[in-house]
């Protein structure tokens, strides 16, 4: 499938400044001291700009959990074997994962997509098939995937959003699963931000000691091999990324093109956001950072995107868990914005 990244980038609208001004004016009329709801007020105004609606609501929320395997996992960069990706995919489908519980609590549907889990394709009525292969190649042996494959994965991620929009999707949370993907995220973060490998590589699933030092060296070697002057964003994504990261890049691009706010989860989904914004800078306006992961590279990625996370709970699970935790906060910001009385309506004197 061929897609035109330049056309996609050009299709992303800017923030609706008129809607933001109207939302900002409404905030001044609500029965509270100005600024007393802190960032909740800022969030309501920002979401008005994203959606183009003075009084937006999040009634149809979804968490897209993109799963895929990574060839780099064979290098011993994870404390868990690659088979866990497939096992967790089944757990998502059975509703037994952390994201399953957190999404139910947040009132969001979980959309599970197989972008390239090793082994035969799993047959399940609730599984979205977006397979690009049985995991990426080991990026120390060559590119993780072809540029054409990365484009196909982006297109598959975009298609998920397009299908969900028919059902009324108005906010999308990003999640992922893939053993080895913190190594890929570290390589992408270093490549897109210029940060040293040692400062953006974390312990992931729990690698320690020499195993952790080895992981840092793997990322350093990948950067030496694949990052050179003139390398384009899509080439970096193909060389260092994962099928699920490319798929989430597509989710972000399609959401931004359709004025659907995107709630990022942790390190992996923020690496996808770095790729999406490098491809289409306008996508930055549609991002909300849910939390700050304990992965050190997440801070560098958030800083590069200019995003301030809503919470810091010491999370490092992934799956979309942080995004699902943040969703009720966002809904709370919109509830206060939409449902509070104005001074005139309540008959309350203004200061």
Which residue intervals of the chain are DSSP H helices?
A: 5-11, 17-29, 39-51, 83-94, 98-106, 147-166, 181-193, 197-200, 209-226, 233-240, 243-257, 267-279, 296-305, 321-339, 343-346
What are the distances in angstroms from CA 194 to CA 188, 189, 271, 288? Answer: 10, 8, 13, 23
The candidate with the shortest Cα–Cα distance to 241, out of 172, 191, 291, 301, is 191
Going across the sheet that includes 127-129, the strands are: 127-129, 108-116, 61-68, 171-177, 262-264, 287-289
Q: Packing angle between helix 233-240 and helix 181-193, nearest 10 degrees?
A: 150
| DSSP 8-class letter at 78 | S
Residue 319 annotated to the active site: yes
| Of 120, 210, 319, 350, catalytic | 319
The token duo for 25 is 């004016």
The token duo for 336 is 């206060």
Residues with catalytic function: 319
């Amino acid at each position: 499938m061929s897609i035109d990244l330049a056309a996609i980038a050009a299709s992303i609208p800017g923030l609706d400044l008129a809607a933001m001004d109207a939302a900002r004016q409404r905030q001044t009329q609500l029965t509270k001291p100005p600024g007393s709801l802190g960032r909740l007020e800022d969030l309501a105004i920002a979401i008005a700009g994203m959606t183009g609606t003075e009084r937006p609501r999040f009634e149809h929320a979804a968490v897209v959990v993109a799963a895929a395997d990574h060839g780099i996992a064979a290098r011993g960069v994870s404390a868990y074997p690659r088979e866990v990706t497939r096992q967790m995919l089944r757990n998502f489908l059975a509703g037994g994962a952390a994201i399953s519980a957190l999404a139910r609590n947040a009132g969001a549907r979980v959309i599970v997509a197989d972008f390239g889990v090793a082994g035969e394709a799993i047959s399940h009525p609730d599984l979205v098939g977006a397979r690009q292969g049985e995991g990426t190649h080991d990026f120390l042996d060559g590119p993780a995937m072809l540029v054409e494959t990365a484009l196909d994965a982006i297109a598959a991620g975009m298609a998920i959003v397009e299908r969900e929009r028919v059902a009324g999707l108005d906010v999308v949370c990003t999640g992922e699963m893939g053993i080895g993907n913190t190594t890929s995220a570290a390589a992408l973060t270093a490549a897109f931000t210029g940060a040293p490998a040692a400062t953006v590589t974390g312990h992931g699933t729990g690698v320690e000691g020499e195993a952790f030092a080895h992981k840092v060296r793997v990322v350093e070697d990948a950067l030496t091999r694949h990052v050179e002057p003139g390398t384009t964003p899509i080439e970096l994504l193909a060389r260092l990324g994962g099928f699920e990261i490319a798929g989430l890049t597509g989710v972000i691009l399609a959401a931004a093109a359709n004025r659907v706010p995107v709630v990022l989860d942790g390190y992996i989904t923020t690496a996808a956001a770095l790729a999406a914004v490098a491809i289409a800078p306008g996508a930055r306006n549609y991002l909300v950072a849910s939390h700050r992961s304990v992965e050190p590279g997440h801070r560098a990625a958030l800083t590069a995107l200019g995003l301030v996370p809503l919470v810091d709970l010491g999370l490092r699970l992934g799956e979309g868990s942080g995004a699902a935790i943040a969703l009720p906060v966002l809904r709370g910001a919109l509830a206060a914005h939409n449902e509070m009385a104005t001074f005139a309506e309540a008959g309350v004197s203004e200061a």
